[in-house]
Amino acid sequence: MLRALGHTDVRDSPDSPGPSLHENAWAVRSLTPPMLGRTQACMFAGAGVLGFVGVLLPHPTGFNVVGLVSLQAACLVSAILLVALGKRTPGWLVAITPFAGTALISAALYYSDQSTSAYMLFYLWIGIYAFYFLSRTRAWLLGAFAVLNYGATILLLRLGDGNATVGLANGDVHDFVLITGTLAVAGVFIVTLRDRVGRLIDRLTDAASTDPLTGLLNRRGFHHITETELERSRRGHRPFSLLVGDCDFFKLVNDQFGHHAGDEALKSIASLLDHNKRRIDTAARMGGEEFALMLPETDQHEAYILAERLRSRLRGLFAAEPVGLTMSFGVASYPVHGASVDALLRAADEALYAAKALGRDRSVIYSAEVGAILTGNPPNRGGDHAQLATVLSLAEALDVRDTGTARHSQTVGRYSELMARALRLGREHVERVRLAGVLHDIGKIGVPDSILGKPGPLSDEEYGQMRKHPEIGARILGGSGLEDIRRWILAHHERPDGQGYPHRLVDEEIPIEAKILAVADAYEAMTSDRVYREAIGERAARDELRRHSGTQFDPRVVEAFLRVLVQRDRDAADEEGSVREARSG
């Protein structure tokens, strides 16, 4: 599996001593020229030593001792040369030396004056080397070269005798067929054994890097391939993201239905992740009910969208099950959240922890501020705006999918602050109301894009989903040290006449802060273009506030806001007049 994913090629390794033989299609495995050079050096050295021993021992009188000694010396020189080159051994050299060695063996047969002398056994060395280390095509090519050399040597020996037809009587053809046939069968055996060993190595590699239950990569395999992909992104200055997801309340499945049911659920989750990722992405089971996805060419926003899509589909997969499993995701991206795999995994884990703490079944982009808020220890930014900066970072991490909502929230926060001051709330209270204005729509993180961006009227079902966003927002902020803001956001779509949602509260049951958010939210929405309608203008929006004062909006808040707007208009007119006077003067 790992090899199929393309991360084992030695050319990608910065420690590789030279180009891979894959470049000229000679080696079947990732063997470098220096590695093959050392093997060939051993063969040449062994042949040289054995050849000298053969000359020293009693031998037939027809031996050409000078020729044989020169051949053995050439073998030893070749061995010394290959050892001396070491890591500098070029690929072309190790490609031609087996052919040179074959020619030396044929020459040794010729100098021994016997076509069946013991030197013929050295052809077996060539066969073993070729069929074990080389590709099948190259191995058969080298084998054919050896056969031709052997046949040519027999012919030369008979020509030297003065009669090329004597070989038939002497059984040379018989010897040639049996010997070359034996080499061919040995080659088949070696290729078969090599393939079986290769498959065994592949299975062992997969077993070491693959989760046996789901078939996905395990933590070891995921870390290995992620290192390679991150290095590629680093060299190309390309974005790269990690998702880490954990199944919510998975223990309930094991406790209520047994571990077999839990295993089946994990298989289903793994299958969903694997089938909903891109071809270039990689999914893994990191352990237990924790999964991860590696996303090359993906920034944090694209990774967040994928996490939301996976989360939604997983929730739907288990919606009809006795235990409706969901998943929380943490998102981390290179280079903004870390420059190494370990740093990105830590960042994604922290974001996952934040998603769990914020109510589960959600996705969170990593931010240093997120963890600080959840631990109740926001970073010290100085001044009265420390907590504001922290909460704004949290809002960014949990933002809805478009920039329009972010501008809307900032404007609502500003209007809310102005109203809170007009109602003479305390300084810290005003700051909290502003924060609530910025965060009031954070629950829309749970509303599908198809509803948020729908250009026409919403259906009853779609409107029902939209009405859930105050509760979703309250759940997101639960346990985050923002309990007061959580209550205000939950109630900011309630109405004094009791026709609001989600709890149909009436008048004094609704916090004044929620009433402020309602007016700010409505006014900003009426004076801004939306996909489903154009803005109605400020004058018309003020008329709408007056018309619905006492029913949809609190009269005190509407009156305070209108005073704020009138004063703003006066200030703008005075400033414009001052500018005109300055220009005319």
- Estimate to the nearest angstrom the gap between the alpha carbon of 219 and the chain centroid: 13
What's the rounded Cα separation, in Å, for the pair 420 and 486? 17
Considering the entire predicted model, what is its pTM? Answer: 0.46
Tens of pLDDT, residues 230-256: 999 999 999 999 999 999 989 889 888
* Structural domain contains residue 372: no
Contacts 24+ apart (CB under 8 A), 161-164: none
| Per-residue pLDDT at 472 exceeds 70 | yes
| Per-residue pLDDT at 55 exceeds 90 | no
For residue 173, what pLDDT is reported? 79
> Which runs of E-coded beta strand occur in 456-546?
none
- 249 or 159, which is more confident: 249
* Structural domain contains residue 381: no
pLDDT band per the 50, 70, 90 thresholds, residue 379: very low
Q: Mean pLDDT score of the chain, rounded to an integer?
A: 81
| Per-residue pLDDT at 492 exceeds 60 | yes
Average pLDDT on 441-464 reads: 77
* Structural domain contains residue 296: yes
What's the rounded Cα separation, in Å, for the pair 486 and 501? 15
Q: Are residues 555 and 461 in the same domain?
A: yes
| Per-residue pLDDT at 397 exceeds 50 | no
Final residue of a structural domain among 208, 229, 255: 208
What's the rounded Cα separation, in Å, for the pair 355 and 393? 14
| Per-residue pLDDT at 12 exceeds 50 | no
- What CATH code is carried by the domain that includes residue 336? 3.30.70.270
| Per-residue pLDDT at 167 exceeds 80 | no
* Structural domain contains residue 413: yes
Q: How many domains are there within the chain?
A: 3
* Beta-strand relationship, 363-365 and 290-296: unpaired
For residue 387, what pLDDT is reported? 41
Final residue of a structural domain among 153, 182, 208: 208
Q: Are residues 195 and 233 in the same domain?
A: no
For residue 4, what pLDDT is reported? 33
Average pLDDT on 549-557 reads: 94
| Per-residue pLDDT at 434 exceeds 80 | yes
Q: Are residues 192 and 337 in the same domain?
A: no
pLDDT band per the 50, 70, 90 thresholds, residue 159: confident
Tens of pLDDT, residues 63-101: 888 988 999 899 999 999 999 998 888 888 888 888 999
- 389 or 318, which is more confident: 318
Q: Are residues 223 and 172 in the same domain?
A: no
| DSSP letter for each residue of 459-480 | PHHHHHHHTTHHHHHHHHHTTT
pLDDT band per the 50, 70, 90 thresholds, residue 321: confident
Q: Are residues 485 and 355 in the same domain?
A: no
| Per-residue pLDDT at 431 exceeds 50 | yes
Average pLDDT on 447-459 reads: 74
* Structural domain contains residue 33: yes
Q: Are residues 160 and 261 in the same domain?
A: no
| DSSP letter for each residue of 246-286 | EEETHHHHHHHH-HHHHHHHHHHHHHHHHHSS-TT-EEEEE
* Structural domain contains residue 392: no
Tens of pLDDT, residues 290-317: 999 999 999 988 898 899 889 888 988 8
Quote the domain boundaries for residue 410: 398-578
Q: Are residues 454 and 524 in the same domain?
A: yes
Average pLDDT on 441-451 reads: 73
